[in-house]
Every structure is written in C-alpha cells, then in structure tokens.
Chain A
C-alpha cells in the first residue's frame, strides 16, 4: 500500500467541512477519502443552521477549525444549501471561503442559482463508488494543490 498523501503543501492537513444530512453519503465520502488515500481533516454538519454555527464558531462549535473548503449539499433540514450560500455571501468574514456544491441534483436551475449566489464549483454526486473516490482526488488536487487559497487573517 502506498503511503497516504497529504493534500496541503503546508504542514497541516486541509480542513474540509461537509454540510450533508444523509449519513450514507457521509460514510461514502469518508470511505472514498480512504480509498483515494487522501489525508483530509473532514468535519460534518447535518444541516444548514449547524453549518453556519460551525463557520461562526458558535456553540457547540466554539473550538471548530477554520475550513479551507466547504462541501455544501442543497437539500437539508431546517436551513437548506441556498440559505447557507446566501448567508456566506452576505458575510464579509465568510465570503472568501470557497464553497463547492455537492448534491444529487444536476438541474440547470439549481446550478445557475448556486453560481449566482457565489458558489465556486457545482458537482453532482457520482453514482459509482470508484467515481466518487476519483472525484475527491481531483477535487483535493485542484483546491489544495493547484489553487492559492485565501489566507486566514
């Protein structure tokens, strides 16, 4: 087995926050990261309101790390992905955070609306597990290796 691959050039691991209400999809995400041998510090919140609390370090997330990337589902209980995206874009402190929408929809209306609200990428969840692992490989390559991320003040 080849060694696990750290995905940030810096000494620390990339921090990814996943806003996702489906436990199975969270499980598949974790497993695909293992299969892709990606060392990512993955945090999960199950709804939009908890996502905002995590990003703002409000209880129970006072000690939450600052994510390098947010993976955002659209359909979530209480507060959906659109509302999260609106709040992030309206908040100067959060606006620099790159948001990648990861959802089951590939509906043109969802895609256009999310880009208009300020998401940086829109991904449709793959059907096949091996595609899931490959997608995470490419995603982390791009966001944590290729691009220059905004720096925390």
Chain B
C-alpha cells in the first residue's frame, strides 16, 4: 500500500512537472504569436498617421491614437504574462545575498520612475541572508514600482526594512501613498486583478501576482497592511533558520 502511494505521488509529481513545462511552452509561443500581429496592427496604424496626416481630420486622428494605445496595452500584457510564466524558470540557487545590494540593483532598474516621481527611498537593517538574489531584486523592484505608481498627493517617501523572526526574515516596503482598502488586501495579489481604471493608473495587474509567485517559490508569504498615517506596507517573508 505504501509502495503504491509513493508510485502515485511520483506520477502526479511527473504530471505536475509536465504541465508546468507545457504552460511555459505555451507562454513562449503565445507571446511570440500575439506580438507578431500586434506589430502589424501598430505598423499599419502608424502608416495611417504618417501618410494621411494632412487628409484626415481630428476625429480620425483621435481614433487612431486610441487604437494605438489599446495595442500598446496588449503588448504590455503579453510582456508581463511572459515574465510571470517565466518566474520559475528564472530561479537561481540560494546563495549568501546582501539585501542592500539587491535593493541597490532594483533602484538602478527603476532609475527613471524614481527620478520622475521625486521619491525619497530609505532603508534600514537590511541583512545578508541565504536566498535567490535575482528573486529578491525582482521583489524589491515590483514593490517599489507599485509604491511609486500608487503615490498620493504629498511627496513620496518609501522605507524598506527587514526584521528577524525565529525562522525567517520579514521584509517590508512602506509608503505614504493612496493605500489599499481592507476588502481588497487579498485580491490585489491575484492574477490580472486591478482596482483602478487604466486612465487613473495604467498597468496590467501582474506585478503583485508575480511577487506572490516569487515569494511562494521561496517558501514565504506576502501580505499588505495599512499604515497609521495612510499609505500601505507590503511585507514578505523569506524562511531562513537562525544561525546556530
């Protein structure tokens, strides 16, 4: 009986691996096959703009602009879906990782949006821990990007911190942005879930879903809580037994 259990577990593990592999193949193929016609559509629209600028009126130009914006949105979506599907393939083995360096790398990747938003970003108590460094960079990058996007009226201030818990590190990214209503605090981590219109805050609803996928792969959890003075704090845990 035990023997059969093991065989069945082996088989379902093999099936899971295969379906993961299929999903990844699908994402690669879909990304290419969706992008090719998108390039064509935006190419034709661009030609309409360039060649008929003097013969079409304002209303027609507006329609072309709208169609181009829609194409761009689909292009972003295919990009983000691909990144999401690849999150596991990107995994690298855990090594001793300086989370200060990971944060610095994510700041470098976000140079333009940080400069545009005038965000002030501080960090405190970031440890060296054993984890996947690329995953940590991606997490910081997505959470900071999120904080920048959903900033409020006052100058944006972000604080990145870490805290030691018995068997894990808990990282947090706090901002003074628009915050998240309590009823949406679970939903925002779902795939393609958005709380705002494209007009208010452009995006694909993939960023936090990607964060959750990465954190879960690392064996941790991710959640959001609100700050006393408004804004939100995104927290994620990364398991690491305390040094003996």
Residues in A lying within 8 Å of B, measured CB to CB: 22, 24-25, 28, 31, 35, 75, 104-105, 107, 125-130, 132
Contacting pair A28 B32 (CB below 8 A): no
When A75-B32, A104-B32, A127-B75 are in contact, do A22 and B40 touch as well, CB less than 8 Å? yes
For A35, list chain B residues within 8 Å (CB). 50
B46 within 8 Å of A by Cβ?
yes
Please tell me the size bucket of the interface on B: 10 to 19
Q: Determine whether the beta carbon of A127 is less than 8 Å from that of B42.
A: yes
Q: Does chain A have a CB within 8 A of B37? A: yes
Q: Contacts A104-B32, A105-B32: A128 and B46 contacting too (C-beta < 8 A)?
A: yes
Known: A127-B42, A128-B42, A129-B45. A104 touches B50 (CB 8 A): no
Please tell me if the beta carbons of B43 and A129 are within 8 angstroms of each other in the complex: yes
B39 touches A25 (CB 8 A): yes
CA distance A107 to B167 in the complex (A): 37
Interface flags for B46-68 (1: CB within 8 Å of A; 0: not) read 11011000000000000000000
Contacts of A25 in B (CB 8 A): 36, 39-40, 43
Give the complex CA separation of A129 and B50 in angstroms: 9
| CA–CA, A129 and B47, complex, Å | 6
Query: Which 5 pairs, one residue from A and one from B, show the smallest C-beta to C-beta distance?
Result: A129-B46, A24-B40, A28-B43, A104-B35, A129-B43
A74 nearest CB across to chain B (Å): 8
Q: Is the CB of B32 within 8 A of A24?
A: no
**Besides the known contacts A25-B40, A28-B44, A130-B46, 14 further A-B residue pairs in the complex with CB atoms under 8 A apart:** A22-B36, A24-B39, A24-B44, A25-B36, A28-B40, A35-B50, A104-B35, A127-B72, A128-B42, A128-B43, A129-B42, A129-B44, A129-B47, A130-B50
Is B218's beta carbon under 8 Å from chain A?
no
Q: In the complex, are the beta carbons of B39 and A104 less than 8 A apart?
A: yes
B159 on interface, CB distance cutoff 8 Å: no
- What are 25 A-to-B residue pairs whose CB atoms are below 8 Å? A22-B36, A24-B39, A24-B40, A28-B39, A28-B43, A31-B47, A35-B50, A75-B32, A104-B32, A104-B35, A104-B39, A127-B39, A127-B42, A127-B71, A127-B72, A127-B75, A128-B42, A128-B43, A129-B42, A129-B43, A129-B44, A129-B49, A129-B50, A130-B50, A132-B46
